[in-house]
Chain A
């Protein structure tokens, strides 16, 4: 009475499994993307690409493990492109040997050399500035002008950041190491840590919220979070409670990071993949990125959104992105050494 239905459903299910077990055969006109970026942020551009070219874009989104998946799949991997939100993950992919070089005149024309790999293994798509925001009420305008200022004892118990292990913080710390050397960077990081108002937690948005609530006065965030909050009904107030500071305008400029893409070594739809890369660097797609996500376009002929422009112009740190990669493990260990995350 118990086994009979089990056997019957077992037979039906094993049939279903046989059908579903194997990977579906690839359609002709498509391009396959592994993305560290949330789908809802890139889907509008992909949809437009499909509309214009008839090429379907298939995605798998995850925040971890996609490089490892590419590695294990090897030469038979179905993926054509990998998208990341920072240069560190791009270089992990390159180091793992799962990318290949692309030489495209369109890409070279659209993306300045500083935002792409010399050997063509990765290309930046958008730029984000790591800015400082300060409470309008409690920090006089112009008091803080650089990342270095944040280590001053006068800010004890007033700074909020996300985890020092996050790629955005890691890249900033790596840039400090690149500019100041390990020893000075460590002293700076210790000073910053001593000034924290609370154990690092939450994402960048949560830090601004904390300022508006009075938990802290100063935070370090990615620029587009300001845009996201300024255009959100509920979060508008948080954004309104802070001033934006583009740090280090009197010296090296503000630290920047890229979101970018790489062509995979095994790409089965290489032609389509390069088409998609070129499309994403085009004026049209870059303008969409700029409007929708409030990031800085890498394509210099495209302007940032009106909202982003209203924050003012600034100089960015010309440090080659490869330097961030070079120091990232040192930066990560330094976070442990000074006990940044508590």
Chain B
């Protein structure tokens, strides 16, 4: 396939450049092999796309493609606008203003992240459809009888799908925007204030442009997840490209055609990434670390303003977390006997183990790749890194097929070799093992880890490297003594986000797992796939509960990084016999 070509490229380049030390080229080779391995499933999907059983495009273009494209684009725009509005505004408020409950909001705003999109879709359909409690209540109050007597926005619609996805995906934007706002130097904002910029102007002219790379990463994650989502759009009968993909593959028995649609989806992502890069080609933000420690004061909000701030920050939490949790809890109690599973502990352990392994692998590989980008800046490698982080946008089952093909080929090849030379059969060594699942999760969520890590790596000025090197530190020394400590919160953020995503992962787990192997998500699916929301509630609730812990940890980490900075600032202030960093 295409892998040899990929590895051959840099090898040729190496031969041409003898000035590389052997250690450096060894490292390069290692990076390239890792990147190639991670790219493999995506290349396998591309390879599938070359072999369709028939050309589907004339039919699609003539019939449903315009609808697919329209729905996909509107869905993406809607999710982009929604996640940006909620994510950025709440992040700005909890960072720069003081109002009742602010400290709680700071971490609680991440909670909806623990709720899988397909679960929230079920919950809100249950609440808002004709027979649900909301419409029944309205009918009782106003004396309406039939559906035709009044208008109620249909939950199963494009707008409904946008709302659901916004509610669970805005935390990506919030998370990265908040981290970026926190890291912004107070002195720049003070300078802007001294130059007469109002608070709003400071947000739009200073803080937002500076936070843009981070916000873009958060938005990219939200949009990639939107593109790979099938559960929600399918349940809401919104025909997007992803729905079309499954239809061509399963309905028309044309896997190659489905893979072609997957490639079209990737093209979307590449356009987005390219657009973002192009729009900030002239900008480069390197955080100068000496000003980082200076904390800014929070403005205290009073009266109506405080109420508004509480509403703004409270609403996403109520809608995205509290209401779904209450509904799930209620159903869990009602259907406990049906849904309870004696293997519960084992199932929960499977979920936790897989998600932690994925977090570890994704962070290590993500670090390696963004590091190699920084140090080596090799063109083929950079391209491979770019490709490897596309996995997130491919619908899970398709990516899973892209994974199983190279793995099973390897297994079968190994088996044949072992039979020939040693007379023993190794069977399928990796396929159908937990290892392939860890690999699948890693590939799927690498973009999530890599995006965040890259953003935090970019903030470390190359001057720091030079300074450390001039002090006699080796490359490894620079990594362990300069980069890793500076990236600590970035690394933990990446790990925890991948962990929570892993807890929710469904499609790849379903099709790649070993026999008799269940995770919390597959338990949910066994019932939810037949719209038995009550029976599936218990395990949905468990996903949310297990996801809570990392979410809270995550927020504490960010706060910790911040308060570390603050205490530094405070002690500096104390020695100067003045205090003023505290606001009450």
Contacts and interface: CB of A to CB of B under 8 A. Distances in A.
Interface of A: 1-3, 10, 13, 17, 20-24, 32, 38-40, 58-66, 68-69, 72-78, 92, 95, 163, 165, 170, 198-203, 205-206, 209-210, 212-215, 234, 328-329, 332-333, 336-337, 339, 341-342
B130 interface: yes
B484 A3 contact: yes
A213 B136 CA distance: 11
Top 6 A-B pairs, shortest CB-CB distance: A21-B435, A58-B515, A201-B237, A336-B63, A65-B511, A62-B510
Contacts of A40: 526-527
A64 B255 CA distance: 11
Contacts of B59: 333, 336
Nearest to A92: B253
A171 to B, nearest CB: 11
Interface in B151-183: 154, 156
Contact of A203 (B154, B253, B530): B530
A275 B484 CA distance: 59
A323 to B, nearest CB: 16
Contacts of A62: 510-511
Contacts of B429: 22-23
Contacts of A64: 246, 249-250, 397, 507, 510-511
B247 interface: yes
A172 to B, nearest CB: 14
A291 B429 CA distance: 41
B181 to A, nearest CB: 24
Nearest to B44: A72
Contacts of A60: 511, 513-517
Given A23-B428, A170-B251, A205-B531, 6 more contacts: A65-B400, A72-B408, A74-B412, A213-B147, A215-B147, A333-B59
B64 interface: yes
A202 B514 CA distance: 30
A78 B484 contact: no
B360 A13 contact: yes
Given A73-B408, A333-B252, A63 B430 contact: no
Nearest to B56: A333
B237 A341 contact: yes
Nearest to B363: A6
Contacts of B146: 214
A337 B67 CA distance: 12
Contacts of B515: 32, 58-60, 78
A68 B433 contact: no
B314 interface: no
B237 A163 contact: yes
Contacts of A337: 62-63
Contact of B427 (A76, A206, A213, A329): A76
Contacts of B307: none
A23 B239 contact: no
A336 B529 contact: no
Contacts of A198: 154
Given A17-B435, A332-B247, A341-B239, A65 B130 contact: no
Interface in B423-476: 425, 427-435, 438
Contacts of A68: 255, 401, 404, 511
Nearest to A166: B251
B238 to A, nearest CB: 9
Interface string B494-517: 000000000000010011111111
Nearest to A40: B526
A315 B237 CA distance: 33
A222 to B, nearest CB: 11
Contact of A59 (B249, B255, B516): B516
Contact of B131 (A13, A20, A32, A209): A209
A21 B253 contact: no
B248 to A, nearest CB: 9
Among B146, B357, B434, B522, the one with the most A-chain Cβ atoms within 10 Å of its Cβ is B434
A243 to B, nearest CB: 20
Contact of A76 (B239, B411, B488): B411
Given A61-B526, A62-B510, A22 B432 contact: no
B485 interface: yes
Nearest to A7: B480
A102 B64 CA distance: 41
